[in-house]
Amino acid sequence: MDSPERLRVGLLGYGLAGEVFHAPLIRAEPRMRLDAVMTGNQRRAEQVRQDHPGTRVFPRAESLFERSDELDLVVVATPNSSHAELTGRALDAGLPVVVDKPFTPTAAQARDLVERARRRAVPLTVFQNRRWDSDVLTLRRVLEAGELGRVHRFESRFERWVPTPKDSWRDSGGPEDAAGVLYDLGSHLVDQARLLFGPVESVYAEMRTLRDGVRADDDSFVALRHSGGVNSHLWTGKLAAQQGPRLRVLGDRGAFTKYGMDAQEAALRAGGLPGDPDWGSEDESLWATVGVGERTRRCPSEPGRYQDFYAGVASALESGGEMPVDPADAVHGLAVIEAAIRSARNGSVETPVDHLGNG
């Protein structure tokens, strides 16, 4: 039986984000329990009952919000177009909120939610789980050790081979749905670049739709100029039959090159959980190469730690401390994405404006 001291979590949505990412990671956090799930899809409702016996299932968000006094946290993992409305309702109910990325379709909506949360003194955070990817954790260790010297270029890719479009709003939706690869995988790339190298002062982008029957962008490139002088080049697409390096970082003392995707998503899809043997670890064949010329070495990968996100949420709710991701970071990231969209449309270099008084 669950301890009554555990934080009671209500999960809105049981699609890919809810089923594969949030529910398992909540389950893996010993200070939380998945108390309720909202899904209007009968098949998914049955899947909740199978995956999480004893968890209450509601067909509408209203039913869950009517019981807000029975919850300690709400997680919004519904389609992107509904994030702003549902997050606002949770904040109005006084419930701390985790919002799946992208936070909202626009930086203005995100700004309004951050300000509403501050006025109400309600904790709010955004699920930028790929801050805890193995490759990012490994690169941060190398950067902190100064092995690369002064970095001048950061290259990052999330490329996939999905030549046949799926019948999904992610492919068929428009900007109002925050559809397409730039909002989806690109929101991770932008967040990682800003986390590693700081604020962005200018953006250039190229966005295309390559596959027949697709409305949203499925191939995008974004170039960022960070205020600290680093240039970030970010690629994401669904028509990459061969993928480039996941990360390549160039400095005046050496380089860091890493192939292969973090293993945690595949493990979660297969039913794995943090705490399993070798969770988040990588085969030595995927370790990064660090150095220059003949003076290179294989760099052991840090284990990925998606579990740190919900551990941070639990600690923040217990202590009143900081949430693991500042939602203002997600506002800034959306401002970069909006600048990229303007750039791709106009063939221009744009300045991101995050609506929080920062340019």
Where does CATH 3.30.360.10 sit in the chain? 133-306+337-346
Tell me how crowded residue 43 is: count the other CB atoms within 10 A of its CB.
8
- Name the amino acid, one letter, at 72: D
Q: Both tokens of residue 124?
A: 């709010």
- Radius of gyration of the chain, Cα coordinates, nearest whole angstrom: 20
Please state the rounded mean pLDDT for residues 219-235: 97
- Residue 1: predicted pLDDT: 34
- Residue 356: predicted pLDDT: 57
Where does CATH 3.40.50.720 sit in the chain? 7-129+309-321
Residue 154, beta-bridge partner list: 232, 249
Give the CA-trace dihedral at 24, 28, 33, 37, to 10 degrees: -10
Q: pLDDT class for 173, splitting at 50, 70, 90?
A: confident
- Name the amino acid, one letter, at 47: Q
Architecture of domain 7-129+309-321: 3-Layer(aba) Sandwich (3.40)
Whether residue 102 has a cis bond before it, omega within 30° of 0: yes
CATH T-level assignment (fold) for domain 133-306+337-346: Dihydrodipicolinate Reductase; domain 2 (3.30.360)
Q: Sign (positive/negative) of CA torsion 71, 74, 78, 84? A: positive
- Residue 11 in contact with residue 22, Cβ under 8 Å? yes
Mean pLDDT for the chain overall: 95
How do residues 196-213 score in pLDDT, each as one tens digit? 999 999 999 999 999 999
Please state the rounded mean pLDDT for residues 142-165: 97
- Residue 122 in contact with residue 97, Cβ under 8 Å? yes
